[in-house]
Structure 1
């Protein structure tokens, strides 16, 4: 651990600025263009100049956004607007309230919240949370809560994990989305089965293959479009420009230093010259040892090249995304079609 209490594995870049006797310290979040303020040593002085200096330092490190989280009543809150920060409201869904003040500086001057943020409440429901928020983007009254999180996970899980419950494969996520009336497309470099290297014995391996074959058959029956190839930035751009979002499989190594398959939601994009730009990503996982809170994991600005590096999983790397492209029918219409068990709205 360093002086900020951060892991010393090189993923996180500590930065600081001092002006007028005030030091503002923080970190650049791994694989992103987000800097987070973690400490203000004001000593009774106005921190506005040091906040502005911190922003300059963050921009020099490649950041396009800087965030801070303060306790209600914190005397330094008044200095943030003078340094170009704006309050972030609303940031986190009402199902997971925390009484804090959140401020953000953005290079584009805006605060483009299009979704409530919701953190996964288990170690294995990332795919379910990403789907829950993707649905909310298209269906404004769609529930965002733990009941829905667990319901979607139960519908999509592929039963894999070295120990305990498992996560979701692309076709499980796609089937759960289709049951909720969403138009989805699976783009994957592999036709599956997925995550078989994480099975701990032959019996579980056989069960994983059985469950995933069932998901694939259901996806075919529901008319889910499937393309067996690597997804491209053009795929994401087309989906996002049409108002949809992408549930993307990544390896957690770049974000959090562990080789674990993980689903994130890509729901926005900013073009930048001739590059592939920067994506807005909601990461359902919050890592307290990195001094993260929910403030760090919504609208995370992730460069396209960083997403490219992390969007591969496994010894024989798989690149997969579930593109959520529209709300095509109500969930009860899917039920009445006779495909699959009855599902609640």
Structure 2
């Protein structure tokens, strides 16, 4: 009988969790963790979500373990949010089976990089991840509820290159729905000048200096020339690449007065850029040229469409933070604090496949491409 039980522990059934598994999942969570526990509501949300995969290992004894995987839409990134194995099932390879199943799920959905965080005190888990070829790439102090530190680990999946080029870049979250451009600039300013203070006041000051005033609805977004002027005012050297001449974003509004205001702002920015000797190139900045600029120490703020990330056709600014053979890495200032599936860590060094990135970096009917390349003076 014991041999039969052990055999079932070694070869558990790995499957997707259903709502019928909720009670067992909550019970396992209570026993496995003293802090940062997932609630019944969180498990239910994970089971129902298209952006999450909740796998469980089941044997004759019941629930042996689970692994929760989050899939970041529009990117090649997957994140192992939590993994737990029942105490009586430890030592039988359940964690490895669940982790391998997560990796395969990530690969099946086109992901090429799997990341996770683990408590620096959890040596058993750290050893497991190292055995599975996960490598440390970050460390966060007092990350968990009990104030223990977290080690960030990642593993390339399939044929993704392990060689990445990246710059140390502080990550900041936008405090309003309309300040992605200013916060992207604040990240760059913080990278080039350790003494720069990224205050909420300066976030709004940059927006006031760089805004187009109007967009489709609500507050206006930032114009690339406006961001370049704000950057140069704060001590950086700026260059702008635009795929079109003439006023930007006018197709996004119907009201003639709004169109007229956008046009006036555009021509005002053009005049100011000429006065401040900020080069404006009316052409697409090729990806190879962007990477060359990055390698030479520049940082770029890039306009993208968020459609492939959230289904909304909104203009959005991000910062290029690195690249590898297959992907462009970005820092995204847009963090949904109310989204339990999202962590600030998911917004940093986000890998986006190069072909996908080139599609994302075109906005609107005119497929506008806008890049602001910044350097320290």
For the residue of structure 1 that corresponds to 2:266, the secondary structure is: helix
8 Å CA contact 1:187, 1:229 repeated in 2: yes
8 Å CA contact 1:17, 1:51 repeated in 2: no
The match for 1:95 is none
Q: TM-score, normalised by structure 2?
A: 0.72
- Greater relative contact order (CA < 8 Å, ≥ 6 in sequence): 1
Match 2:128 to one of 63, 75, 82 = 82
Shift of 1:41: 4.7
The match for 1:294 is 344
- Structure 1 residues 306-342: Cα deviation after superposition (integer angstroms, max 9, x where no partner): 1011111112211111111x212xxxxxxxxxxxxxx
Match 2:99 to one of 39, 44, 51 = 51
For the residue of structure 2 that corresponds to 1:215, the secondary structure is: helix
Gaps of 5+ in 2: 1-42, 157-161
The match for 1:331 is none
Match 2:115 to one of 39, 57, 67 = 67
* 1:218 pairs with 2:255: no
The match for 2:170 is 116
The match for 1:24 is 67
The match for 2:11 is none
The match for 1:327 is 376
- Structure 1 residues 213-244: Cα deviation after superposition (integer angstroms, max 9, x where no partner): 11111111111111111121122111110111
Match 1:140 to one of 167, 170, 194 = 194
* 1:242 pairs with 2:285: no
The match for 2:180 is 126
- Structure 1 residues 91-120: Cα deviation after superposition (integer angstroms, max 9, x where no partner): 99xxxxx99846331333989671121111
8 Å CA contact 2:304, 2:315 repeated in 1: yes
- Look at both structures and tell me which one has the larger radius of gyration over its CA atoms: 2
RMSD across aligned C-alpha pairs, in angstroms? 3.2
8 Å CA contact 1:174, 1:186 repeated in 2: yes
The match for 1:33 is 76
Supply the distance in 2 between the matched residues of 1:63 and 1:91 (Cα, whole angstroms).
Answer: 28
Q: TM-score, normalised by structure 1?
A: 0.79
8 Å CA contact 2:242, 2:370 repeated in 1: yes
8 Å CA contact 2:141, 2:148 repeated in 1: no
Gaps of 5+ in 1: 93-97, 329-345
